[in-house]
Chains A and B, each alone.
Chain A
Amino acid sequence: MLQEEREQGCIITFCSALDELLGGGVPLTKITEFCGAPGVGKTQMGMQLAIDVQIPSAFGGLGGEAVYIDTEGSFMVQRLEDMAKAAMEHCRHIATVENNREQLEAMANFTVEHILSRIHFYRVHDWVELVALVNILPEFLQQHPKVRLVVIDSIAFPFRHDFEDLSLRTRLLNGLAQNCIRLADSHKAAVVLVNQMTTKMGHSGDGQAHLVPALGESWGHASTIRVLLFWEAGCRYARLYKSPSREEATVPYQVTVAGIRDVCIPNNMQDLSTATKEEGDSLGEHSQRKRPRVS
């Protein structure tokens, strides 16, 4: 098992702080949940990961495909295109700078069209469609064995209205969670769930209302790893809320035209190429950690 765990891959993002937080990236065979207030960047994160899973193995990525399940209607192809273009250019820059033949060859398959063609998109309108879809996903994944990521954006929306019977909702969510875990494990894929926040009245003396992840207490058990996204003082932060192997930490990130990226520290901002090279280095490091290069 130890060996399996070591060999198991992660989906690296272009944000090294996030990768550090998660211990290498979004892990395969596990459920990772991103929750946060409206507008903080959850859909952006989902879209970014759908691109990152496709990073060719020459760069240290998984070279896989993605399934994106949209329940809210926030998915916009134009935005995905922008992010895909940025990702492609970033990788091409690294390949050119390092003059690595393997990487340059891999770029032939990493164009914007290729990236878009490897994201399988489902639009789901209510919980019945979602439950049905998760039931048949194993079949789909067998026909598309390269899929390494399933994003459900968001898991909360279909369950937050029209539910008089809360126990039915809990049952359905449990069933969904179990199916997702089984899916993640048997197909060696990462399942990323996007959750919303809800207002909870405080029980303690102050009577204050708090924002907590939606879908209730019992849902908290479903995901292996929970990341809370929030704003503070004009910057976005990601906090690791729950994880079996990493300790709690908070890191900053930003959403740019290119997607989710690290927050640049001021003295790097003048020289864009330095900043790119730094990120490039971190990508290079990853690839060295994962597969010792045969020279």
Chain B
Amino acid sequence: MSLRKLRRLGLEPELVDRLERHKKLSSCQDILEKIHLELLHLTNLTHSDVQKIVMTASRACAPTPTTALQMRQAGFSSGSTPFLSTSLPGLDQALHGGIPAGSVTEIAGPAGCGKTQFCIMLSVLATLPCEMGGLGGAVVYIDTESAFSAERLVEVAQGRCPQHFCSDDAFYKLTSQVYVHKTPTCTDLWNRLQCLEEELIEKRVRLVILDSVASVVRKEFDNSLRGNLSQRVKLLSKEAALLKYLAESLNIPVVVTNQITTRFNTSREGPHHDVLSGDLGAGNSAAVDGGYVTAALGNTWSHSVNTRLIVQYLDDKYREVMVAKSPIAPFSSFVYTIQSSGIVLQDDETIRKWSERVATDPGLIPIKVRTMLGQGGGLVVP
């Protein structure tokens, strides 16, 4: 849209020719990035003529308005489900239906907590037909850590909906609808994302999973080197913008997974930050001297995702998923375990055992990690 040529705007052709040839102004973006005085100087036209050109270019580039009411009615009538049900009833209820379509959802947590399991489970659910609560379409699974296992996919499918997946035929259909791409480096990932749009349309993809966005970036960018941090932030922002664009234009959910990082109160590691000094006292609510563990990739990335779910350990068997950031859901948490059928929410009894969690800054929620097993269930609670 911004690269739309001036030619197409209906201005006088000889004016357009002159601008293009002599002044290198050929697209709308070129016009809109200059200030008024500059344009006056470059085009040698009168003030009102320049104004006219700017307004014509603006009208061509600006999006069309709709009202919130029309959006709601469009949602009702479009037939495409606005949410992907996660089949975890408590979580679905908190999120008003499930993982929202048209936006980017992030699952962050320590290693081994269940992020990839969650993604595999969502892949199975997305391929189910709409009547069964799925999206009835294909899934693109971009794997940066080589963690995807087709065997596990089949196992989860069998465990989750045994009636549906009862024949070899059904399994074949499932596995042929999940497209896995391995992208072990940043460049691979970026290239893959850029040519993703065609693939999504052609194969009728209804869910995109990126597992994980953090691992490639952290491998290749060393934060202690100058300039690397800003490059990393730029790359992540570009990826976020592209994923959001794909999510919105095709109205599909996009799920990314993230790792965790340690933050110290006295910043020995440069990029990890403290809130505006003077606002908080000696530390943040749950921090102990040393630091605390929180979602990786920094502050800008946290702004870029629309919904954030954080998973963490409670003890060796039980884990917890928290809705940390969502435009539609309040802070809530659910206890689960990982079984052969995937993620299974635990009932209220178990939940009551664990203390009430108070809502707090989603960037600073302390996340429990698992220490060595067999030591009486020792957990590092930072």
Q: Do A and B bind each other?
A: yes
Q: Write the residues of chain A forming the contact surface with B, with a CB cutoff of 8 angstroms.
A: 37-40, 43-44, 67-68, 72-81, 113, 115-126, 128-129, 131-133, 135-136, 140, 154, 156-157, 160-162, 168, 171-172, 175, 196-199, 201, 206-212, 228, 230-234, 255-257
Of A73, A126, A128, A201, which is within 8 A of B270 by CB?
A: A201
- Tell me what chain A mostly uses at the interface: helix, strand, loop, or mixed: mixed
Within the complex, what minimum Cβ distance (angstroms) separates A161 from chain B? 3
Asked if residues B62 and A168 are in contact (CB atoms below 8 Å), the reply is no
Q: At the interface, yes or no: B382 with Cβ under 8 Å from chain A?
A: no
Within the complex, what minimum Cβ distance (angstroms) separates B101 from chain A? 11
- Looking at B111-119, B139-147, B175-183, B323-331, the stretch in contact with chain A turns out to be B323-331
The verdict on A44 contacting B327 (CB below 8 Å), with A120-B67, A128-B2 known, is yes
Residues from chain A with a CB closer than 8 A to the CB of B308 are 38-39
How far is A208 from B28 in the complex, measured between Cα atoms in Å? 43
How far is A207 from B269 in the complex, measured between Cα atoms in Å? 10
Of B63, B233, B238, B275, which is within 8 A of A122 by CB?
A: B63
Given contacts A132-B62, A232-B279, 4 further A-B contacts (CB under 8 A): A68-B68, A79-B327, A125-B1, A125-B245
Shortest beta-carbon contacts, A-B, top 6: A161-B237, A128-B2, A231-B361, A132-B61, A39-B325, A135-B58
Residues from chain B with a CB closer than 8 A to the CB of A80 are 68
How far is A115 from B285 in the complex, measured between Cα atoms in Å? 39
Q: Can you name the residue of chain B whose Cβ is closest to the Cβ of A80?
A: B68
Residues from chain A with a CB closer than 8 A to the CB of B234 are 161-162
How far is A233 from B33 in the complex, measured between Cα atoms in Å? 44
Within the complex, what minimum Cβ distance (angstroms) separates A31 from chain B? 20
Residues from chain A with a CB closer than 8 A to the CB of B361 are 37, 39-40, 230-231
Asked if residues A209 and B62 are in contact (CB atoms below 8 Å), the reply is no
Question: Which B residues from 1 to 49 make CB contacts under 8 A with A?
Answer: 1-2, 28-29, 32-33, 35
Contact with A along B53-77 (1 / 0, CB 8 A): 0110111111111111111100100
How far is A44 from B325 in the complex, measured between Cα atoms in Å? 12
Residues from chain A with a CB closer than 8 A to the CB of B68 are 68, 77, 80, 115-117, 119, 121
How far is A140 from B64 in the complex, measured between Cα atoms in Å? 11
* Cβ contacts A to B, 20 pairs, < 8 Å: A37-B363, A74-B306, A74-B327, A76-B328, A77-B75, A79-B328, A115-B68, A116-B72, A120-B66, A121-B67, A122-B65, A126-B2, A131-B33, A157-B241, A160-B237, A161-B241, A207-B267, A209-B270, A231-B364, A257-B330
Q: At the interface, yes or no: B170 with Cβ under 8 Å from chain A?
A: no
The verdict on A230 contacting B275 (CB below 8 Å), with A81-B72, A123-B248 known, is yes
How far is A197 from B244 in the complex, measured between Cα atoms in Å? 20
Asked if residues B266 and A234 are in contact (CB atoms below 8 Å), the reply is no
Q: Can you name the residue of chain B whose Cβ is closest to the Cβ of A161?
A: B237
The verdict on A196 contacting B280 (CB below 8 Å), with A37-B361, A38-B363, A210-B273 known, is no
How far is A161 from B100 in the complex, measured between Cα atoms in Å? 25
Within the complex, what minimum Cβ distance (angstroms) separates B25 from chain A? 14
Residues from chain A with a CB closer than 8 A to the CB of B285 are 233-234
Within the complex, what minimum Cβ distance (angstroms) separates B55 from chain A? 7
